[in-house]
Structure 1
Amino acid sequence: MPEYIYPTYAHTASDQDGTWQGHKDRTPPSVNPGMDYACAYGSVVVAAKAGVIRVADSTMGGSGGRLVYITHPDGDETQYLHLSRIDVTAGQTVTQGQQIALSGASGFGSDRYYGPHCHVSLYLHGVNVDFQKYVNITDSHGGGGSNKEDELSAAEVAEIKAHVTAETNRLAEYVRRESRMRLYKNSATGQFMAASILSGRYEILSGQSEVDSLVKNGYLEIANGDAATPQIVDDLRWRNIIAKCPVNIKAIAG
């Protein structure tokens, strides 16, 4: 049994910014560095290691959104952030691989403040470390246990493969959709911005003519049936979007 297993079917970071080092390199640095695993919204999240639930918070008012903290027998701790649903309670004992939640995008009071992913932080002796360096990389699927197909029935193998295929297709559709840019409007300044947090691109638009150009060329993701309808955000959310998009496109429409 590996000491730590992957908490989701996804084993890779959402992007470079979603790695543990990427969290530390942000300006300002993340207050809780960890791994952002690129999984579809509502994916099963399991306990990376057996332990006792220390925190199961569904209020999602802070930056971590809905979150679960597990204290392990050796005193170390794993933390799971931005969840869409929590399936455990504080004080509950869980086994390695037991479902504890569903992944999400929650934070700052919103169910979809971020893009869908599962953030996992690991604390060894109270020190935040890179979870990816401690997880067993031979474990092929969140849920723990062996990954040897000859220890499973043909029906079980087929079910697992079908699940992985379905989740992969969901993720591919998410990437296709989220790679396009979305339109935002700053409620304080009236400025327009087109941005894609997934691809890391953004552009401050000079006015309605640039918005119309992006719509015409198909660069904007349709929201509520109309690509030209902006999402109204306050100045803090506006600056947070820019901070997550390092590439400033000056003339994306050509």
Structure 2
Amino acid sequence: MVKKGNQVGYALNPNGIKSLPDSEIKTILRGADDLIMSGGRAMLAKILAGSKDKKLLELELDYSPVYGALKGISQKEILAKVDWLILHHYLAIEYDGRLPMLVYTDKGWDIERETYANELLEKLIDAAENRRYEFVEILKDRNRSLILLLLEKIADSGNKDLITILEAWQTIEFKKVRTRIQEVIDILEKVEEKPKSEVILEVVSFSANKKWLSIPVEFRRKLERNVWCSSCSDVVKIEKYTVKEFTGGIVLEGKCQKCGNGVARVID
């Protein structure tokens, strides 16, 4: 595919790829988020490959949550996967002057918005747990549909511990978002308190939770994603877990994200 004039041409080559798993589609779309109308296919391939390219590092693209996600695969192979997404209308190319830049299609953005909203919810919960209320500053001026989806997920979570950080967020937002934040706060305030048995469990586990939260957040997330499920016979992500103490350390007890069976992770 070649553009006229002084515009830099490009050629899409999926290299025979017939399909991609949903997980790879989401990963590639997540990586594209930092490049929308500012970078192209080759830079996206470098992010996913975990390249030490000088320009990539200068732009701090190594902070992408999917930096190095496809490490071990050649950049040529990764570029073929990116081209497959373009040809199947998850991404598109638009020119900014001479250069071809990546953009989301509606189809791709619907997927990325869901992925990103889940990521922001996880970070918001962590920020609330650690009283890092300044985190909300990164939410200001984000895509409106992304923010509304995030607020919908917060309301659905029923997590009353998010009310304080929502109030902090409310102080820096524009009127329409402030109004929606207040609606979510009102919803959470009506959530019934947990049964006494659950409250007692939390008190008993307070020391364990303190130890768990003392672990750097990046490492905690890695531990959550590295739990063995005997039902799946695979390493999975643990969810809906509690943190308990045992001799010599703590243990996460929860559910496998894939199959829902009980799983546990011991942390010395």
Q: Pick the TM interval, shorter chain.
A: under 0.3
Name the TM-score, length of structure 1 as normaliser. 0.24
Decide which structure has greater helix share. Answer: 2
Could you state the TM-score of these two structures normalised by the residue count of structure 2?
0.23
Quick one: higher RCO (CA 8 Å, sep 6+), 1 or 2? Answer: 1
